Chain A
Amino acid sequence: MQMTKNQTKNKRIASDMLKNILSKYSMVFIFIALLLLFQYLTGGIIFRPLNVTNLILQNAYVLVLALGMLLVVLLGNVDLSVGSVVAFVGAVAGKLMVDMNWNPYIVIPLALIIGGIIGIWNGYWIAYLGIPSFVVTLGGLLMFRGLTQIILGGKTLAPFPEEFQFISSGYFPSLNPGGFHLLSVILGAVITIITIFMLISSRKTKEKNLYEVESMGMFITKMILTIALIMGVTWVLAQYRGYPFVLVILAFLTMIFSFVTKKTTIGRRIYATGGNRKAAQLSGVNTKSLEFWIFVNMGVMSALAGLVLASRLNASTPQAGEGFELDALAAVYIGGASTSGGIGTVLGTIIGALIMGLLNNGMSIMGVGVDWQSAIKGLILIFAVVFDVWNRKRKLKA
C-alpha cells in the first residue's frame, strides 16, 4: 500500500517536473522541432554551410532590433517606427557615402547619433508628455518612411565603399587561404570554453545567493545542448567562409544586454517599472528618464540595424526595413515577454529571433510564397502568446 502511494507520488512529481521543463523551455523545444522539420522538408539544405551563414546574415537585423525592443516591451511599450528608422538611417548613410563620398568611419558613428536623436524625439513625447507609445511611434513609422523617400527621391543608392560592406559581408580571415577556416574553429573553441566557464560560475553564484537552480541533470543537458550548438555552428561555418563579422556584433550586443538586464541597477529598475510603475515611482525610481533612455537606445539600435541591412544589401532602398518592427516585436513576444511589461529575458528574445529567422529562411528555401510566409508567422506569433498566457494562468492557479 505504502509503496503504491509513494510510486504515484513519485510519478506525479516526475510529471510535474516534465511539465515545468516543457513550459520553461518550451520555445527552445519549438526551435529544435522547427529546425528538424525544415531539415526534413528542405532535404537537408538548412544545415548546409552556405545556408547557415546566410541565415545569420539575413537575420542579424531582427536580433539587433529585438534586443532594443525587449527593453521597450519590458516597460509595457511598443516601438512601431523601427522599420522606418532602419530605412531612414540607411538612406542618410547612402546619401553621404554614395552621393557625397563621405568616409564610412565618419558616417557610421554619425548614423548612430542620428538614431539616438530619433530616439530622443520618440522618448520625449512618450516619457515626459505621456503620449501612448503606440501613437507616437505609429507617427514615426509614417514620418520616417516618408523622409526616406524624400532623401532617396524614390531611387536606390549603390554601391557602398568596401569598408562599409565589410559589416555584413566580412569574415574572419583564414590562416590557410582557400582551405579550412582554422581561426574560426579556434575562436569557436575559445567561445565554448568561456561559455562552459560562465554557465558553471553563474550556477554557483545562483546557488550561493539562494536562487532556485535547475537539477544537475537538467543543467548538464542544457550545457551539452549549448556547447553542441556553438560547436555545430562553428563547424558548419568553418566549411564555408568562417565566422561572419556581423556575428561578433551580435555576440557583443547579446552580452551587453544580458549584463545590463541581469546585473545592473538599471536592469532592476526596468523590471520594477514594468511590473508596477506606480510602486517603482514610490520607491524612488525615476521612471520617466528610464523610459526616455530606453527609447534613445532603441533609436541607436534601429540605426545599427539600418547600417547592417544597408551593408548587406549594398544599397539604400526606399523599401528597406518594411515590416521589421513587427519581426522584432514578434521575436520579443515569442521569447516570452509580457505585453503588459515586467517579464522577458535576453535569452528568450534571442530564441524568439532565431525562430523568426528560421521561419523566414526555411520557408524561403522551400519556395513558400511571401503570402503564406506572412500568414504562418502570424499564426505562430498568436499561438506563442496564447500559450504563454495560458501557462501563466495555470501557474497562478497552482
Chain B
Amino acid sequence: MAKYILEMDDIVKTFSGVKALDGVDLKVEEGEIHALVGENGAGKSTLMNVLSGVYPHGEYTGDIVFKGETCEFKRLSDSEKKGIVIIHQELALVQFLSVSENIFLGNEQSTKGVIDWGLSNKKAKALLDKVGLKINPQILVAEISVAQQQLVEIAKAMSKEVKLLILDEPTAALNDNDSENLLKLLKEFQKQGITSIIISHKLNEVIDIADKVTIIRDGKTVETLTKDNISEDRIIKGMVGRELTNRFPKRDVEIGETIFEVKNWDVYDETFRDKKKLKNINFHIKKGEVIGIAGLMGAGRTELALSIFGQSFGSKITGEMYKNGNLLKIKSIPEAISNGIAYLSEDRKSAGLNLIQSIRENISIASLDKISKNNIINYGKETKIVEEFREKLNIKSSGISQEVSSLSGGNQQKVAIGKWLLSDPDILFLDEPTRGVDVGAKYEIYSVINEIAAEGKAVCVISSELPEILGMCDRIYAMSEGIFTGEVKNENVTQEELMELMTMNIKEGVS
C-alpha cells in the first residue's frame, strides 16, 4: 500500500457562520503530483491556508497528519519547519531586493549575525541552477519577468528543504512556453522525491502532469481521480455537478431592442502599459435581458466592466460604446453614473461599501443629487428613500442607522445593490453579485436581478460560478485570457461546454 505523506481528514472551517469547508478529505501520496481543482470559491485556497497554518489550529476542526505525525500548526512558520511550502498566486517577493536577498529572506546566510554575501550568492546561484534559471542572483526582483519570479519563489522554497510544495495557480500569469517549463520542473522535482500539490484552472495542464486529481465543490471533496480515470469531462462534471432545481427564481420578460453595445473594445494594462489586457471585445445587451460574462479569475471580466464604467481601469482604451444607438463618450465615473451605468464591485469590503458608516450613507452616496438641493441634504427625503430600499431589499437590520460592518455578508451585498438601484441606472454590471453570500440571500438577490430586468433595464452578470450564470442569464459570453471565446444562448449550452470555453487556451499573439 502506498504511503501517504499528507492526510487531511474531515476539515471544517467556518467564516462568520458560513461554512467555507464542510468536511474536506485530502490524501496525498509520497512523491506524487496531486492536482486540486474546483470552481472559484469552492474552498481550495482556504484548505491550503488551513494546511499551512495561516488559519491556526483551533479555528478549524479536523485532523492534519503529515508524515505520520498529527500536526497542529499555529502559524505559517510551523508548517514551513516541517517542509510544507506554499507558493501563492500573488507572488510574495520583495520587488526592490535582489534575487538572492529574496531567496534567503528570513533565513539569511550569516555568521554571528553578519550576513555572508559571498555565501548567499553562491548558494542562491546553486538553487537557481536547480530550477533552471540562468540569472545573476544580485539583480533586483523588479527587473525580472513574472515567469522568472515564479522560479525564484520555487528556488526560495527549495532553500528551505521542502518536502511538500504547494503551488496555487502557478501558471495563471505565464505564457505557454513558461508554463511548460514550469511543469517540466515539477516532474524533475518529482524524480528527486518532492511531493507537489498544484491548484490550477487549466485542465489540460492538470491532465498532463497530475498523478491524482482531487475535486472540491462547495467546501466538500467530490472525489479523487487516479491516473487511469482522469479525464477532462469527468473533472468538469465533478466541478460543476450540482442540482439546479429551484435555486433560481423564474423570470418572464419580453426582451426588447438593443440598449447597450460595446464594439472593438481594446484595453491595455494600467501598470504594464504595453500589455494588452482586453482584446477586441464586442457585445450587446437588450432591454430586459440578463447577459452573463463567464470567465475564471484573471480572465479580464472585472477589468472589462471597470474600463466601461468611466475608464476606471486600463490605459489606451479604444473602441466604441453605444446606448440606444447613441455613441457614448465616458471618461469618468460620475459621467458613467449620469449616463445610467452602474457597476456593483466584485469585492464589497474593499471597493463597494464604507463599512464604518450606516446603511443610510452607503445607499445614498452614489445618488446624492437625488436627495439634496444646492448641495444641502434633505434628510426627510433621504430617510424615506433609504427606508424604502431597506424594506424592498429585505435588508435584515435594526434600522437604516445600523453600521454596515455589523451586517452579514448577504445583507451587506443588498446594501451595495441598493446603492445602485437608487441611482436608477439603465445598464447594470453586477460583478460576482453573490460572492460570500449564503443560499437564502442568493435567492433574494436573484429575484432582485429579475425585477430589474423586468423594468426594462439591461443587466450584465459577471460570475465564475457556472450554475449562477446558467440559472440567471439569457445569453452568455465566455471569456478567457482577455478575449471573448464564445457567445452562447443559455438553452443551447451545458456547463461542461461553457467550462471548456472558459478554460480555452489562447495562443500568444492572437488578437
Interface status of A286 (Cβ within 8 A of chain B): yes
Task: Name the interface residues of B312-346: CB closer than 8 Å to any CB of A.
Answer: 312, 332-334, 336-337, 343, 345
Interface status of A20 (Cβ within 8 A of chain B): no
Interface status of A342 (Cβ within 8 A of chain B): yes
Chain B proximity of A211: nearest CB distance (Å)? 5
In the complex, A269 Cα to B90 Cα: how many Å?
A: 33
Interface status of A15 (Cβ within 8 A of chain B): no
Are A284 and B334 in touch, CB under 8 angstroms?
Answer: yes
Are A275 and B333 in touch, CB under 8 angstroms?
Answer: no
State how many residues of chain A have any CB contact under 8 Å with chain B. 28
Name the residue of chain A whose CB is nearest to the CB of B345: A282
* Chain B residues closer than 8 Å to A286, beta-carbon distance: 332, 334
Chain B proximity of A385: nearest CB distance (Å)? 17
The one of B312, B351, B369, B376 that contacts A279, using a Cβ cutoff of 8 Å:
B351
* Chain B residues closer than 8 Å to A285, beta-carbon distance: 365
Are B383 and A269 in touch, CB under 8 angstroms?
Answer: no
Name the residue of chain B whose CB is nearest to the CB of A205: B379
Knowing A211-B401, A264-B377, A276-B355 are in contact, say whether A282-B312 is a contact too (CB < 8 A). yes
Are B383 and A283 in touch, CB under 8 angstroms?
Answer: no
**B-contact bits for A277-301, CB 8 A (1 contact / 0 none):** 0111111111000000000000000
Most buried by B among A210, A266, A275, A283: A283
Q: How many A-B residue pairs have CB under 8 A?
A: 87
* Chain B residues closer than 8 Å to A282, beta-carbon distance: 309, 312, 333, 343, 345, 351-352
Chain A proximity of B212: nearest CB distance (Å)? 41
Interface status of A272 (Cβ within 8 A of chain B): yes
Name the residue of chain A whose CB is nearest to the CB of B364: A268
**A-contact bits for B399-419, CB 8 A (1 contact / 0 none):** 111000100000000000001
Name the residue of chain A whose CB is nearest to the CB of B354: A275
Are B334 and A272 in touch, CB under 8 angstroms?
Answer: no
* Chain A residues closer than 8 Å to B350, beta-carbon distance: 276, 278-279
Are B365 and A209 in touch, CB under 8 angstroms?
Answer: no
State how many residues of chain B have any CB contact under 8 Å with chain A. 37
* Chain B residues closer than 8 Å to A276, beta-carbon distance: 350-351, 353-355
In the complex, A343 Cα to B356 Cα: how many Å?
A: 8
Knowing A209-B383, A343-B356 are in contact, say whether A272-B365 is a contact too (CB < 8 A). yes
Report whether over half of chain A's contact residues are helix, strand or loop; otherwise say mixed.
helix
Chain B proximity of A291: nearest CB distance (Å)? 16
Interface status of A208 (Cβ within 8 A of chain B): yes
Are B375 and A265 in touch, CB under 8 angstroms?
Answer: yes
Chain B proximity of A169: nearest CB distance (Å)? 36
Interface status of A271 (Cβ within 8 A of chain B): yes
Chain A proximity of B42: nearest CB distance (Å)? 27
Are A279 and B354 in touch, CB under 8 angstroms?
Answer: yes
In the complex, A202 Cα to B255 Cα: how many Å?
A: 49
Most buried by B among A211, A276, A278, A281: A276
Chain B proximity of A49: nearest CB distance (Å)? 40
Task: Name the interface residues of A119-135: CB closer than 8 Å to any CB of B.
Answer: none
Interface status of A393 (Cβ within 8 A of chain B): no
Interface status of A371 (Cβ within 8 A of chain B): no
In the complex, A280 Cα to B366 Cα: how many Å?
A: 8
Are B361 and A271 in touch, CB under 8 angstroms?
Answer: yes
Interface status of B58 (Cβ within 8 A of chain A): no
* Chain A residues closer than 8 Å to B419, beta-carbon distance: 283
The one of B337, B351, B368, B399 that contacts A269, using a Cβ cutoff of 8 Å:
B368
Name the residue of chain B whose CB is nearest to the CB of A286: B334
In the complex, A280 Cα to B365 Cα: how many Å?
A: 8
Task: Name the interface residues of A209-240: CB closer than 8 Å to any CB of B.
Answer: 209-212
Interface status of B223 (Cβ within 8 A of chain A): no
Are A210 and B387 in touch, CB under 8 angstroms?
Answer: yes
Are B383 and A271 in touch, CB under 8 angstroms?
Answer: no
* Chain B residues closer than 8 Å to A396, beta-carbon distance: 405
Are B372 and A342 in touch, CB under 8 angstroms?
Answer: no
Are B387 and A265 in touch, CB under 8 angstroms?
Answer: no
Are A264 and B343 in touch, CB under 8 angstroms?
Answer: no
Knowing A265-B368, A268-B365, A278-B351 are in contact, say whether A210-B337 is a contact too (CB < 8 A). no
Name the residue of chain A whose CB is nearest to the CB of B419: A283
Chain B proximity of A205: nearest CB distance (Å)? 6
Interface status of A5 (Cβ within 8 A of chain B): no
Interface status of B509 (Cβ within 8 A of chain A): no
Interface status of B382 (Cβ within 8 A of chain A): yes
Interface status of A394 (Cβ within 8 A of chain B): no
* Chain A residues closer than 8 Å to B334, beta-carbon distance: 284, 286
Most buried by B among A205, A268, A396: A268
In the complex, A128 Cα to B376 Cα: how many Å?
A: 27
Are B383 and A210 in touch, CB under 8 angstroms?
Answer: yes
Knowing A275-B357, A285-B365 are in contact, say whether A208-B380 is a contact too (CB < 8 A). yes
In the complex, A244 Cα to B309 Cα: how many Å?
A: 54
Are A279 and B352 in touch, CB under 8 angstroms?
Answer: yes
In the complex, A265 Cα to B312 Cα: how many Å?
A: 23
Are B361 and A209 in touch, CB under 8 angstroms?
Answer: no
Are B379 and A209 in touch, CB under 8 angstroms?
Answer: yes
Chain A proximity of B330: nearest CB distance (Å)? 12
Name the residue of chain A whose CB is nearest to the CB of B334: A284
Name the residue of chain B whose CB is nearest to the CB of A392: B356
Name the residue of chain A whose CB is nearest to the CB of B369: A265
In the complex, A211 Cα to B309 Cα: how many Å?
A: 34
Are B352 and A210 in touch, CB under 8 angstroms?
Answer: no
Are B377 and A212 in touch, CB under 8 angstroms?
Answer: no
Chain A proximity of B37: nearest CB distance (Å)? 32
Are A281 and B383 in touch, CB under 8 angstroms?
Answer: no
* Chain A residues closer than 8 Å to B337, beta-carbon distance: 284
Name the residue of chain A whose CB is nearest to the CB of B309: A282
* Chain B residues closer than 8 Å to A209, beta-carbon distance: 379-380, 382-383
Name the residue of chain B whose CB is nearest to the CB of A396: B405
Chain A proximity of B289: nearest CB distance (Å)? 24
Are A275 and B356 in touch, CB under 8 angstroms?
Answer: yes
17 contacts between A and B (CB under 8 A): A205-B379, A264-B375, A264-B377, A268-B361, A272-B354, A275-B356, A276-B354, A278-B350, A279-B351, A282-B309, A282-B312, A282-B333, A282-B343, A283-B365, A284-B333, A342-B354, A396-B405
CB-based closest 6 A-B pairs: A275-B354, A283-B366, A209-B383, A265-B368, A276-B354, A284-B337
